[in-house]
Amino acid sequence: MMATRIDGKDFAEQVSKEVAEGVKDLKASHGVTAGLAVVSVGEDPASQVYVRNKVKQAEACGMNSFHHVLEAETSRKSLLSLIESLNNDLLVHGILVQLPLPAHLDSRDVIQTIDPRKDVDGFHASNVGDLWTSGKPFVPCTPLGCLKLLKSVDPNITGKNAVVIGRSNIVGRPMAALLLNESATVAIAHSNTKDLPALCRQADILVAAVGRPEMIKADWIKPGAIVLDVGINRVETADGRGRLVGDVDFEDVSTVAGAITPVPGGIGPMTIACLLANTLEAAKRTVS
């Protein structure tokens, strides 16, 4: 039996449609148009593609979008002054500072200056704390997208063994917290983990957020497991164009897993859809 392919693109379109309806309703009921401000510093080409997509999709959902592009040499003081003005701007409900920032700016320090009520990326320490203490945080968009896709194939996570590979603040750690909040038994693996394949073979739910092309093979997988592949890696091809692959060897793992997300078309599209959902939620909280 081949694994079920979990289509993140379709699911993300559904989430975006629901957000668009929510935006319309909020406008009709309270005269509030949800607004997302995106701040990018410098011209990192990969980031620019992501930023353009975020702005475009926010507008497609009927939101206001405000895109601030600052020069790579922008000082900490200028950046923080922009963030302060966005914190105080009633038209802005969500603020996103595109990472990575240039080396002279400390992203952790910068993110702490965003009003947590507008921190739709869920990276502010206040939201991180709320996530781990079962509060009402804004949850980082990529893990939130993973959880939504996971629940679409298995609504009952309680008691399942989950292994998250990767311990970044953006994906691995918040993913582990989300799974724990759903009463899974969670292990977090990383570059120092011993015998990773053996650990993975215990997983009913495996989340890969590593950044190593097709590292995870069929013999790492418990038969029937759900595999969520967050990795996005560009590999060389004979025609020189390159192609995107995940951290999971999709063809190989599909022969053992119960369900699996592809790359591209899996977790990636869900990330932006969840950003829009968080922005709508931030706007709703201002009127409730």
Catalytic residues: 54, 98, 121
Give the integer Cα–Cα distance in Å for 58 and 240.
33
Contacts for 1 with CB less than 8 Å, ≥ 6 apart: none
Out of 78, 134, 183, 191, the only residue in the binding site for ligand NAD (CB under 6 A) is 191
The yes or no reply on residue 210 touching ligand NAD (CB under 6 A) is yes
Q: Which of 167, 180, 185, 199 binds ligand NAD (CB under 6 A)?
A: 167
SS3 73: coil
Q: Given the complex with ligand NAD, which of 102 and 211 has the nearer CB atom? A: 211
Residue 42 interacts with ligand NAD (CB under 6 A): yes or no: no
Residue 24 beta carbon to ligand NAD: minimum distance, rounded to whole angstroms? 26
Distance in Å from the first CA to the final CA of the chain: 48
Residue 67 within binding range of ligand NAD, rule CB under 6 A: no
Among the residue ranges 70-78, 123-131, 159-167, 178-186, the one whose residues contact ligand NAD (CB under 6 A): 159-167
| Closest to 207 measured CA to CA, from 166, 170, 239 | 166
Applying CB under 6 A, which of residues 107, 181, 193, 202 lies at the interface with ligand NAD? 193
Indicate whether 98 belongs to the interface with ligand NAD (CB under 6 A). no
Rounded to whole angstroms, the Cα distance separating 113 from 153 reads 38
Question: Interface with ligand NAD includes 271 (CB under 6 A)?
Answer: yes
Nearest Cα to Cα of residue 276 among 120, 143, 152: 120
Cβ nearer to ligand NAD, comparing 117 with 212: 212
Residues 278, 94 contacting (CB under 8 angstroms): yes
- Given the complex with ligand NAD, which of 95 and 273 has the nearer CB atom? 273
User: What's the closest the beta carbon of residue 157 comes to ligand NAD, in angstroms?
Assistant: 20
Q: Does 111 bind ligand NAD (CB under 6 A)?
A: no
d(CA 32, CA 22): 11
Q: Which of 63, 92, 114, 209 binds ligand NAD (CB under 6 A)?
A: 209
Minimum separation from the CB atom of position 258 to ligand NAD (A): 21
Verify binding: residue 122, ligand NAD, rule CB under 6 A: no
The DSSP code for 251 is H
Are 72 and 43 within 8 A, CB to CB? yes
The CA distance from 22 to 261, in Å, is 27
233-235 vs 243-245, strand pairing mode: antiparallel
Of 230, 256, 276, 283, the one binding ligand NAD (CB under 6 A) is 230
> Angle of helix 8-30 relative to helix 141-153, nearest 10 degrees?
110
Residues in touch with ligand NAD (CB under 6 A) = 142, 165-168, 170-172, 189-191, 193, 196, 209-212, 230-233, 267-268, 271
